[in-house]
Amino acid sequence: MRRNRYLLCLLLCVAMLYFALPNLSPTEPGAAGVFAIAWLIFAFLVLAGNLTALLFNHNYGNTPSKEQGRNLKKGRIRARS
């Protein structure tokens, strides 16, 4: 389910970049150029984050694996008489 969300966010980010790049000019002097550069930096950070989440599995060490539960030996419990 998460992979679908990451893929959707990635595609939306690419679509936003596709429509925004012709209108943004980082060489513009003043606040317009600063805004264009900041917007492009944030867009590429979002793109890189979604690609990283989509390509790599980050579930190492955070959750107990299924193998740990299987390796535990259960001893018999004796009832007191």
Q: How confident is the model at residue 64 (pLDDT cuts 50, 70, 90)?
A: low
The whole-angstrom separation of Cα 9 and Cα 16 is 10
Residue 53: the pLDDT is 86
CA-to-CA dists, residue 31 to 25, 26, 43, angstroms: 11, 10, 18
To which H or E segment does residue 5 belong? helix 2-20
Residue 75 has pLDDT above 70, yes or no: no
What does pTM read for this prediction? Answer: 0.63
Question: What is the pLDDT, as a whole number, of residue 79?
Answer: 74
Q: Classify residue 61 by its DSSP letter.
A: S
Whether the pLDDT of residue 80 is over 90: the answer is no
Residue 6 pLDDT > 90, yes or no?
no
